[in-house]
């Protein structure tokens, strides 16, 4: 088998990739590095089904439906900018051994998709969840994802009803590749779908405690477009430009004027994208600065109860609702534990 790493850094090291992979195959190195996201496969015995995912929310969703007897390996380290992530050469091995590669799609993980296509084994498939569930007519282009860029906002996982659609696609793909365990996948899916429905209901109840005229979001990273559309929030803007750099002084001045004109009471930062610019904006406008939102970095550590997509959604929604003075009791009462034991690999 010939593996084909891509990307600028991969091309630079192309001369050593073959040797690296040969060593990995001989020594059966497993796990992932703590800092750079290098990922390899697990020790034998090899599970019947090998699944690779990208960002940690997707890894959590897939792990809940797949259950502990499926090897689920995430590639994108938590706390890393998934929009600019370049998979390391060692990711090629995990992708080459995968039966299914689940990606969000909608342009989020293009380098990883390309690496997967170059190394996909016969009979394996890449499932682009966002492309499967969202028709092109419903794509949202906005502040950080302008239409002229050609890529829509990809953050469907912040909207629970869309994750329910993801879950159904994941279930069906697992059954296609492992029909013998179809009953397990269906049962896990049904239990997970019930948790999604409960989250959706609690979020709607919590949102209803905030006057509609006050539901205005200004965030650092533009991750809440589909969430806002479903729960009737207005997205005033996103501070991070479409090239994912820091905003320019002119951008900051315009944002300050916008906040003042709209009497925005709070601006939300991102735990994944820390930015001193927000402190400046908060000081200039008097708007409160809340920097606890997470876009794709699960709370807690792997193995902890809140380290899940459900835990991530509850944390974010509690943060938003509480910042506007709403009632978070319905959210606080949610069970955000996994419906199946999560043994997935989450690079840190």
DSSP per residue, 130-176: HHHHS-GGG----SSS-GGGS-----GGGSHHHHHHHHHHHHHHHHH
CATH 3.40.50.1980, the chain: domain bounds:
8-198, 210-332
Specify the CATH superfamily of domain 8-198: Nitrogenase molybdenum iron protein domain (3.40.50.1980)
How far is the C-alpha of 153 from the C-alpha of 34, rounded, in Å?
A: 29
User: pLDDT digit string (tens) for 265-323?
Assistant: 998 887 767 777 887 888 889 999 898 888 888 999 998 989 999 999 999 999 999 99
How far is the C-alpha of 211 from the C-alpha of 215, rounded, in Å?
A: 7
Enter the tokens of residue 64. Answer: 């809940």
How far is the C-alpha of 228 from the C-alpha of 236, rounded, in Å?
A: 11
The CATH number of the domain covering residues in 210-332: 3.40.50.1980
Q: Are 199 and 64 in contact (CB under 8 A)?
A: no
How far is the C-alpha of 9 from the C-alpha of 47, rounded, in Å?
A: 32
**Helices and strands (H and E) in the chain: how many:** 13, 8
Which segments in the chain show pLDDT lower than 50? 1-45
User: pLDDT digit string (tens) for 176-195?
Assistant: 999 999 999 999 999 999 99
278 Ramachandran zone, left/alpha/beta (phi>0; psi -120 to 50): alpha
Q: In angstroms, what CA-CA distances link 159 with 121, 162, 203, 251?
A: 33, 6, 10, 28
């Amino acid at each position: 088998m010939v593996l084909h790493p891509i990307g600028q850094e991969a091309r630079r090291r192309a001369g050593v990739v073959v040797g690296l992979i040969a060593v990995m195959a001989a020594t059966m190195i497993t796990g992932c590095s703590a800092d750079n996201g290098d990922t390899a496969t697990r020790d034998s015995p090899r599970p019947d089904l090998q699944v690779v995912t990208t960002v940690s929310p997707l890894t959590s969703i897939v792990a809940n439906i797949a259950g502990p007897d499926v090897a689920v390996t995430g590639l994108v380290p938590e706390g890393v900018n998934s929009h600019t992530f370049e998979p390391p050469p060692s990711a090629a091995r995990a992708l080459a051994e995968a039966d299914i590669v689940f990606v969000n799609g909608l342009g989020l993980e293009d380098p990883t998709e390309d690496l997967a296509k170059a190394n996909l084994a016969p009979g394996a498939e890449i499932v682009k969840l966002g492309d499967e569930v969202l028709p092109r007519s419903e794509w949202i282009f906005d502040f950080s994802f302008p239409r002229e860029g050609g890529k829509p906002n990809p953050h469907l996982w912040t909207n629970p009803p869309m994750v329910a659609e993801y879950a159904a696609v994941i279930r069906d793909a697992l059954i296609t590749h492992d029909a013998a365990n179809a009953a397990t996948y269906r049962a896990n899916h049904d239990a997970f779908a019930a948790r999604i429905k409960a989250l959706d209901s609690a979020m709607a109840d919590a949102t209803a405690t905030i006057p509609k005229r006050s539901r205005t979001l200004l965030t650092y990273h533009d991750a809440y477009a589909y969430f806002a559309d479903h729960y009737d929030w207005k997205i005033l803007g996103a501070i991070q430009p479409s090239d994912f750099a820091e905003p320019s002084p002119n951008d900051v001045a315009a944002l300050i004027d916008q906040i003042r004109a709209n009497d925005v009471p709070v601006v939300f930062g991102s735990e994944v994208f820390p930015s001193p610019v927000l402190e400046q904006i908060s000081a200039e406008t008097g708007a409160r600065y809340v920097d606890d939102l997470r876009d794709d970095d699960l709370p807690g550590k792997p193995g902890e109860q809140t380290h899940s997509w459900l835990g991530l959604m509850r944390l974010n929604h509690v943060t938003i609702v509480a910042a506007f003075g709403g009632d978070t009791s319905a959210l606080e009462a949610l069970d955000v534990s996994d419906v199946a034991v999560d043994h997935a690999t989450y690079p840190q």
